[in-house]
Structure 1
């Protein structure tokens, strides 16, 4: 990777990017919940990793050619190997708001190995690798991923950022308020030493480390959540480090959302750097934004602002004839694998689902509580407004089974089908609530009942229309979701009143579309999800 010197950077402005073309992009670049990001480039390809908490598979890997258009292509953690509570075996062993957060993903060219590392629940730091991808030899392209667990490191590298130095030495920046640097062994599976390199002198809480080496200078980017970003700089990996404020509660680019902070930086081939941060934008979650950087004569980065704010638009960083596929449209679940837009609520019971002419969901749990039901499959909601429609074959339901389409979060609602005896009825259920310590406070209330399905009914279409326009700050507005059903796939009827979404941040992840099937009496029933249609409204 080639870098431009700080002296050359000093004279650059936003006009530099415009020589690549007049087209602009609009922030946010991904209006979906992809927080705590790590970002880097191999050849022509940008890669991006994000938090997933208890969703499985975890740590999605996204791909882009221009830093604007992104699509998920893999998950660094194919199955959460962090203990039995990640399997959602019962109501007292669950991992809500635990799991993967602020982890790191980087690529070592000399060994052709991707490294993912993440501290789990203040315990060990788990390591997963993907080798033999030929990413560097193929200009960044990867056709096949082979993620393999390398066990764990005993220390919690909290909010960690991996740097692979010019001589291939691995370093990890981590910590909160006091920032540490650890040196790892050659394959990243053991610690050589660790030292505290910076303690916030004003007792300001900082975290979210990302580490870089640019022109022989070491940088550690840290955030003061949830508004500011600081930069630490030193000529020596072990310090001492100086600090400057990069952004301090910078406004924009969305109304009623938080300020851009955290994230990481990446350069394009001409040497220009970009900062990829995220905004708290509930009820949709935390969504990424991009801005170009300039550099001062003495090597400090600065965000290019528009009217002293984070720009709503900037020139597109890279123009090329490649792009990634769109993530909207119809998924018919033809297999052989689920697409990487999908993540299960906790690890799935793999004996109870399959792909063969649709997604077959056999009941995996006997419970009254959706938050305890295994094999609920979820997908991020794109904003600002979108709809997700599941076509479900309900002919295999058994007495007591419940299936449906859920607006999934700690305060949730769904539209579904209840089977009672030989009767199948449409229902809209709200007031599902995870309370204190994420223990179920309410399993929901039937707020509206639709028609009883004819005995020969095979397919129903269940639709959720969601408005996740930010309502996180500066407003008392409440965003709502509506639930719809159809028995022919063409004419839809709303069931129940609009559901008010929560704008709180404590669950961290934003609302998701989901589909479920669980039993309240005995296992044995099944449904087939024939398709999912995601469209913008």
Structure 2
């Protein structure tokens, strides 16, 4: 069971005079696709090499969201997604994917091109799941947008990079019936990608981004074109200080007939975070962003009656039958080597000295603008050579943890764990600080400032009683380069350097926001 901090009543609150502030979710949730089913909203996002992939979040007001499932329960596309055989899949896996609901069959569909090879299809009878893989299409629907035509029930997919295409799916939505190139971006526009596909008032719209500072809309009376284009935004003022230009994402219409655009803002080292703005339509039938002082507003009136949901902050005691959907593993886990119910038990799976190849490392998104994670770790079951602890995980990482050296337990802080540009390990890091501890239990803490910009820091501390914490080691200066795509995460790990057989129990994980 998850024990969360008190929140406001779950009953709808009045929106009179109430404003929401951007970002609506200060978490790494990129390439969002957002839909409405009756009065409920759902979104999904990219997760690359993390498993399960493609989280599904739910909302009733487009501002407050909660995690409810993952569309891809396991990355079953090759052993590299398991971190086995010397293989790894960093910055591969789930990129900009798409999902939608088909009312006629009461089925949710998720489609994603897996790094340029083919398109995988998963379906579920409810957004909460269970989700299962149902088909593979040999074409790569790159940066795809799925439309279920509200008038004909035909399923279409818009996809591509600069040369944009539309595919019509078979009647069951599990294979391709036809595909056709429908628009080639002219040289004065350049790259267009990140398709989302809509139908409004009899017209078809392909919503595409010019990375990473523009958004265009293509409009036609047929899904096959011809399409005319119009610029929706270019270098608009960002609502997040130091962040990039809002772009990509998707459109959604409320049950009241009002449209909203959920984009993301490049905000490294934290990742790409969602922002929301209302949309109107011009006399030519193209969308127009409602700006504030000429830019994307830092705040707007609530779209719908406010409904506060499960808070992401609080304490997870891991006493349920499964991990909550806040958690995602670094690559696929070895499921026989972890369990929940009486804390999170992590048995060693990998003999290595490299955090980046250690299996069964489990992660949570960092909350912005700054947040702190604290774990209570029972290390009494660790074997000689084992390392277990809490990391700030990305292509440049650091961690605090316990090291068993011949029966002597030391808390250590390791910095300088790093990858190269090919996402291979460049450095396994070095010990910055170490001190002997006893008692079999320790509190480990990591704090991170993920406001966009350079020089943001992560810091570590520990406690032997859960009350007094000692700052330990030095600061991790977090990398804010975009090429790794995913933002920093809190990560809990346990790996062996000598032989397997050890285990730790994470009794609690507590997340607090600044």
TM-score range, shorter chain: over 0.9
Residue matched to 2:459: 482
1:105 equivalent to 2:99? Answer yes
SS of the residue aligned with 1:279?
strand
Q: How far apart, in 2, do the equivalents of 1:195 and 1:39 lie? A: 25
The answer on 1:359 being equivalent to 2:344 is: yes
The separation in 1 between residues aligned to 2:475 and 2:221, in whole angstroms, is 57
Aligned to 2:112: 118
Runs (4+) off by over 4 Å: none
8 Å contact from structure 1 (residues 65, 324) kept in 2: no
RMSD across aligned C-alpha pairs, in angstroms? 1.0
2:135 corresponds to 1:151: yes
Aligned to 2:359: 374
Deviation at 1:128, TM superposition (A): 0.5
User: For the residues of structure 2 that align with 1:113 and 1:484, how far apart are their CA atoms?
Assistant: 47
Q: Deviations over 1:445-496 (max 9, x none)?
A: 11111x2112xx121110001100111xxxxx41001100001111000111
1:294 to 244, 260, 280: 280
Tell me how far apart the structure 1 counterparts of residues 106 and 79 of structure 2 sit (CA, whole Å).
32
How does the TM-score come out when normalised to structure 1?
A: 0.92
Match of 2:267 in 1: 281
Superimposed CA distance per residue, residues 242-292 of structure 1 (whole angstroms, 9 cap, x where no aligned partner)? 000001011120111100000000011110000000000000000000000
Q: Secondary structure at the match of 2:80?
A: helix
Displacement of 1:20: 5.1
* Conserved 8 A contact 2:118-2:139: yes
> Which residue of structure 2 aligns with residue 160 of structure 1?
144
Q: Distance in 1 between matches of 2:295 and 2:481?
A: 25
8 Å contact kept, 2:95–2:115? no
Quote the offset at 1:198 in angstroms.
0.4
Equivalent residue in structure 2 for 1:426, among 411, 416, 424: 411
Residue of structure 2 equivalent to 1:443: 428
User: Partners of 1:22 and 1:309 in 2: how far apart?
Assistant: 21
| Alpha-carbon distance between aligned partners in 2 of 1:402 and 1:213, rounded to the nearest angstrom | 54
TM-score (norm 2): 0.96
Equivalent-residue separation in structure 2 for 1:278 and 1:326 (angstroms): 21
What are the within-5 Å matches in structure 2 for residues 319-468 of structure 1?
319=305, 322-449=307-434, 451-454=435-438, 457-468=439-450
Look up the SS of the partner of 1:371 in the other structure.
helix
- In 2: Cα distance, 1:315 partner to 1:434 partner: 43
Q: 1:70 aligned to 65, 71, 78, which one? A: 65
Check if 1:82 corresponds to 2:59: no
Q: Aligned with 1:351: secondary structure? A: helix
Post-superposition offset of 1:356:
2.5
Counterpart-to-counterpart distance in 2, 1:307 and 1:63:
31
User: Which residue of 2 is the match for residue 252 of structure 1?
Assistant: 238
Report if aligned partners of 2:166, 2:180 keep a CA contact under 8 Å in 1. Answer: yes
Residue equivalent to 2:9: none
Matched position secondary structure for 1:251: coil
SS, match of residue 86 in structure 1: helix
Alignment coverage as a number of residue pairs: 499
Deviations 1:391-414 (A, max 9, x none): 110000000000010000010000
- The SS at the match of 2:356 is helix
Give the distance between the partners of 2:308 and 2:59, measured in 1 at CA. Answer: 7
